[in-house]
């Protein structure tokens, strides 16, 4: 597995070793020992999630306030534009974002540490999005930042139509995160 640092401290791109022949391919999508050796991150994953969405569905920017989740994300079918936003107050990249295509073709994974908001938009006709979490989902602890927040200014792909949940369309601004 190849690991590449992003512009956000701790947020990493993982490129698995893919063995492909005429029958198809094989890849190890996660190995705890290798993950630690390559990243230095001792992640204790407690929950796996899988979502399926149609083209233009945008989910995010989600985070948990007092029980943050680290996430190892990937796409097993289709493609998405995936975004991580640093919301760690003490971080020099606080308020910065990184975005990249995750797809069944490139098989890349993104490690998003605790202390980040996360979201994605589906760019293929359909996408299966899978992720491992370091903490359980607590609905009462969940919060969202509006995906079009001008202070973050994410450059989302140009899509004809974007489908967003009511919760995400009414998400708060990034400025609401700042201590008052």
What are the catalytic residues? 62, 131
Q: Strands 109-112 and 116-122, how do they pair? A: unpaired
Phi, psi of 69 (to 5 degrees): -120, 130
Please enumerate in sequence order all residues whose Cβ is within 8 A of that of 152, keeping only pairs 6 or more positions apart, or say none.
61, 85, 95, 97, 145, 174
Report yes or no: 76 and 104 within 8 Å, Cβ to Cβ: yes
Gap between the Cα atoms of 53 and 39, Å rounded: 30
């Amino acid at each position: 597995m190849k690991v590449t640092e992003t512009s956000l401290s701790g947020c990493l791109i993982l490129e698995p070793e893919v063995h492909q022949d005429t029958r198809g391919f094989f890849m190890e999508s996660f190995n705890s020992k290798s993950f630690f050796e390559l990243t230095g991150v001792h992640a204790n994953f407690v929950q796996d999630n899988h979502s399926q969405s149609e083209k233009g569905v945008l989910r995010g920017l989600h985070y948990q306030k007092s029980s943050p989740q680290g996430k190892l994300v990937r796409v097993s079918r289709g493609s998405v534009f995936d975004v991580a936003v640093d919301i760690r107050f003490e971080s020099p990249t606080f308020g910065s974002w990184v975005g990249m295509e995750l797809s069944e073709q490139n098989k890349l994974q993104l490690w998003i540490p605790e202390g980040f908001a996360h979201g994605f938009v589906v760019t293929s006709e359909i996408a299966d999005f899978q992720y491992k979490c370091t903490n359980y989902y607590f609905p009462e602890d969940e919060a969202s930042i509006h995906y079009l927040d001008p202070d973050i200014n994410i450059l989302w792909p140009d899509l004809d139509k974007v489908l967003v949940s009511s919760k995400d369309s009414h998400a708060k601004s990034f400025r609401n995160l700042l201590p008052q």
